[in-house]
């Protein structure tokens, strides 16, 4: 439920109505399986996904995967930071650059809670996520969407050359490659050496993922539904998050616009924290170096501040950052499927052949969609 989702979901709903809701449902199902594989990998081996890549793959391939993972983490971090800054900008009516500096302070404050352990940060993030969910329950209640069209959009796949870019952005924003690296690392705090505990914790982690990802799916769907009902059905063109916020006031009232901004801020702060953690796990695991959490955050703040200082279009940078995540997904998924299918690595927790087959189909499907995306962006697909 990060600001990258915000931009792709608003663009998808405002331009294509309810027709891309099926993308969110499909991506959510993909994410459920892949997050499960990531958690199982960490719990079965006691190592994070990047560490296992370094231990089992050649050095050139490991370095290549690190570069792609870093690119995904930086793109994600950029989106989250921009989104939180936009939230402060909309709520406090201050320029974007001071809003970005306030965002940096807020995220550093959340990260500082790690001195009290993972649970403290988990509770903060769950609180922020609750704010997002409640805000969008309120938004959807206000817009009173066409539920028949919503159901059709969620269950009937429709895609064309025009909607492909946004659909791939929605896919990248939902599955999110950096989360596959992150999940395998943070789950280690719950690992037990007893094999029976590994199985039980794996099941508990799956339940966690089911609850979290389905909540994310509902909220992201709510954003598309809100945009479709408030903008698409009214014939309104939206080309920025600020524009969406401003348009909500005359359509649905000032309280709706405030709820939108508060939810965006909560989204940016919660996801920016997890993106920083993912970045730390990626660089430490792939390169076998110690890298402080605050240093990681400081480095990834710089690209966002540059974008804001240059006055670039934050809305389309958010969307393109999510499209770039879909391009990186195969590099995160293929090694994950390979590692979790090997008994020499996973022991008794290796994938069932059917699981490997389904995950391989997901990887092939995403690769195929990326090929279509490349053809679309080069003008070869009309």
Predicted TM-score (pTM) of the model is 0.85
Q: What is the pLDDT of residue 239?
A: 75
In sign, the C-alpha dihedral spanning 117, 123, 125, 126 is positive
Range of the domain at 233: 3-377
The span from the CA of 288 to the CA of 308, in Å, is 33
Q: Is 313 left (phi over 0), alpha (psi -120 to 50) or beta?
A: beta
Q: 28 lies in a domain? A: yes
Name the burial class of residue 273, with classes exposed (0-12), middle (13-18) and buried (19+) by CB atoms within 10 angstroms of its CB. buried
Report the C-alpha gap between 382 and 362 in whole angstroms.
Answer: 25
In a domain, 143, yes or no: yes
Report the Cα 277 to chain-centroid distance in Å.
13
Kindly write down the DSSP assignment for every residue of 336-364, as one continuous string.
HHHHHH-HHHHGGGSPPHHHHHHHHHHHH
Residues of the chain with pLDDT > 70: what percent?
93
Is pLDDT above 90 for 308?
A: no
Tens-digit pLDDT profile for residues 343-368: 999 988 899 999 999 999 999 999 99
- Whether 355 is in a domain gets the answer yes
**Helical H runs in 144-194?**
147-155, 161-175, 177-186
The C-alpha angle with vertex 240 and arms to 237 and 244, in degrees rounded to 5, equals 65
In a domain, 107, yes or no: yes
Looking up residue 236, the CATH number of its domain turns out to be: 1.20.1740.10
pLDDT at 28 over 90: yes
The answer to whether residue 26 sits within a structural domain is yes
Read off the pLDDT of residues 82-105 as tens digits, 9 standing for 90 and up: 888 888 888 888 888 888 888 888
In a domain, 382, yes or no: no
Q: Return the sign of the alpha-carbon dihedral for residues 214, 216, 217, 222.
A: positive
The total of structural domains in the chain comes to 1
């Amino acid at each position: 439920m990060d600001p990258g989702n915000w931009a792709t979901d608003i663009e998808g709903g405002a331009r294509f109505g309810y027709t891309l809701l099926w993308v969110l449902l499909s991506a959510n199902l993909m994410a459920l399986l892949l997050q499960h594989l990531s958690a199982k990998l960490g719990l079965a081996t006691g190592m994070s996904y990047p560490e296992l890549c370094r231990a089992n793959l050649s050095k050139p391939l490991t370095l290549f995967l690190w570069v792609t993972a870093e690119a995904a983490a930086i793109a994600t971090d950029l989106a989250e930071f921009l989104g939180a800054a936009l939230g402060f900008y909309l709520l406090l009516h201050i320029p974007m650059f001071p809003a970005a500096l306030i965002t940096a302070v807020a995220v550093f404050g959340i990260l500082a809670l790690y001195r009290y352990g993972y649970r403290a940060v988990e509770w903060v993030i769950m609180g922020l996520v609750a704010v997002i969910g409640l805000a969008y329950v309120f938004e959807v209640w206000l817009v009173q969407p066409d539920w028949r069209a919503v159901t059709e959009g969620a269950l009937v796949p429709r895609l064309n050359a025009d909607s492909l870019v946004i659909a791939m952005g929605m896919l990248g924003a939902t599955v999110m490659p950096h989360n596959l690296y992150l999940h395998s690392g943070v789950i280690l705090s719950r690992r037990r050496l007893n094999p029976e505990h590994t199985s039980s914790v794996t099941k508990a982690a799956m339940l966690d993922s089911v609850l979290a990802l389905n909540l994310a799916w509902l909220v992201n769907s709510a954003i598309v539904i809100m945009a479709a009902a408030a903008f698409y059905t009214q014939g309104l063109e939206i080309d920025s998050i600020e524009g969406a916020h401003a348009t909500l006031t005359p359509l649905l009232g000032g309280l709706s616009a405030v709820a939108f901004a508060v939810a965006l801020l909560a989204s940016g702060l919660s996801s920016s924290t997890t993106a920083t953690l993912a970045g730390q796990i990626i660089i430490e695991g792939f390169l076998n170096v110690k890298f402080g959490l605050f240093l990681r955050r400081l480095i990834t703040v710089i690209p966002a501040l540059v974008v804001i200082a240059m006055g670039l279009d934050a809305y389309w940078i958010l969307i393109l950052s999510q499209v770039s995540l879909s391009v990186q997904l195969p590099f995160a998924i293929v090694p994950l499927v390979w590692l979790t299918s090997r008994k020499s690595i996973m022991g008794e927790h290796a994938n069932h052949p059917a699981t490997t087959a389904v995950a391989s189909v997901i990887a092939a499907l995403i690769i195929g969609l990326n090929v279509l995306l490349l053809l679309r962006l080069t003008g070869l697909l009309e």
